[in-house]
């Protein structure tokens, strides 16, 4: 039996940071953000649907998607975001399932699905256990502004496009509080994995 762990949290809460720690334990990670980039590469079905829906203004000169421009549209308009989600999410789900199957067939005991929108997209049925990476709102805004060189307004628009992080706490099997140092988060993760007899 393979245990599928869902890793989730809010934007800039620290999912990738925790995913790296899990990788160091030798656990394979399937990252929805990475897949969401792959399925919109030039030539993919979702790419053409996006160009049809949003027009050529959201493209770079070389034809690839201008993520900043598309982001400025969808993070400020829920209807447009839903439109993009309805194009990208089915392709992401298909690819995630294929990868998951491949790892299961390869005999992996534990697989992690890193899915930022696990609750929003109602994907909890895909996983056996859920780890939530939590940060306080102020820390989240500050880290997002620093990492992406966003204004406060840009950072808050992205955070508000997701379910409030505090509402996700009661939906998770384990919560890693990532307000402190990375090594404090690392310790919390090790405790959870031991409790679940994964390490």
Ligand X SMILES: CC(C)(COP(=O)(O)OP(=O)(O)OC[C@H]1O[C@@H](n2cnc3c(N)ncnc32)[C@H](O)[C@@H]1O)[C@@H](O)C(=O)NCCC(=O)NCCS
Ligand Y SMILES: Nc1ncnc2c1ncn2[C@@H]1O[C@H](COP(=O)(O)OP(=O)(O)OP(=O)(O)O)[C@@H](O)[C@H]1O
Report how far residue 1's alpha carbon sits from residue 184's, in angstroms, rounded to the nearest whole number.
Answer: 31
Start-to-end C-alpha separation, the chain: 16
14 is in an annotated binding site: yes
| Contact flags string 143-162 toward ligand Y, x per CB under 6 A | x---x---------------
Task: Select the residue interacting with ligand X from 8, 47, 71, 118 (CB under 6 A).
Answer: 71
Report in angstroms how near the CB of residue 11 gets to ligand Y at its nearest.
Answer: 4
Q: Quick check: 74 binds ligand X (CB under 6 A)?
A: yes
Segment lying near ligand X (by CB under 6 A), choices 31-39, 129-137, 138-146, 174-182: 31-39
Q: Quick check: 6 binds ligand X (CB under 6 A)?
A: no
Give Cα separations from 108 to 1, 3, 4, 15, 16 (angstroms). 9, 9, 10, 21, 21
170 is in an annotated binding site: no
Which residues have C-beta within 8 Å of that of residue 22, sequence separation ≥ 6?
Answer: 5, 7, 29, 112, 189
Which residues have C-beta within 8 Å of that of residue 103, sequence separation ≥ 6?
Answer: 2, 28, 30, 111
- Helices marked H in the chain: 15-24, 32-38, 45-54, 67-74, 78-105, 137-148, 152-160, 165-168, 182-195
Picked from ligand Y, ligand X, none, the partner binding residue 16 (CB below 5 to 8 A depending on kind) is: ligand Y
Picked from ligand X, ligand Y, none, the partner binding residue 71 (CB below 5 to 8 A depending on kind) is: ligand X
Q: Quick check: 116 binds ligand X (CB under 6 A)?
A: yes
Query: What distance lies between CA 109 and its chain's CA centroid?
Result: 22
8 is in an annotated binding site: no
Q: Quick check: 76 binds ligand X (CB under 6 A)?
A: no
Task: Please enumerate, by residue number, every residue annotated as part of a binding site for ATP.
Answer: 12-17
Which residues of the shown chain bind ligand Y in the complex (CB under 6 A)? 9, 11-17, 33, 116, 143, 147, 178, 181-182, 185
User: What is the binding site for ligand X (CB under 6 A)?
Assistant: 11, 32-33, 36, 67, 70-71, 74, 81, 84-85, 88, 92, 116-117, 158, 161-162
């Amino acid at each position: 039996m393979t245990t599928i762990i869902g890793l989730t949290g809010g934007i800039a809460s620290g999912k990738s940071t925790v995913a790296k720690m899990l990788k160091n334990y030798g656990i394979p990670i399937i990252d929805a953000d990475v897949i969401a980039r792959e399925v919109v590469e030039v030539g993919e079905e979702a790419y053409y649907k996006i160009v049809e829906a949003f027009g050529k203004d959201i493209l770079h000169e070389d034809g690839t998607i201008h993520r900043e421009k598309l982001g400025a549209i969808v993070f400020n308009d829920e209807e447009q975001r839903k439109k993009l989600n309805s194009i990208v999410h089915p392709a992401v789900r298909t690819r995630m399932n294929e990868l998951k199957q491949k790892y299961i067939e390869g005999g992996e005991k534990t697989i992690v699905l890193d899915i930022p929108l696990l609750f929003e997209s109602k994907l909890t049925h895909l996983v056996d256990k859920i780890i939530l990476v939590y940060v306080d709102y102020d820390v989240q805004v500050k880290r997002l502004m620093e990492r992406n060189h966003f204004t406060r307004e840009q950072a808050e628009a992205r955070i508000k496009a997701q379910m409030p992080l505090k509402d996700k706490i009661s939906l998770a099997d384990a919560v890693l509080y990532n307000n402190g140092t990375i090594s404090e988060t690392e310790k919390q993760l090790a405790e959870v994995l031991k409790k679940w007899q994964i390490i």
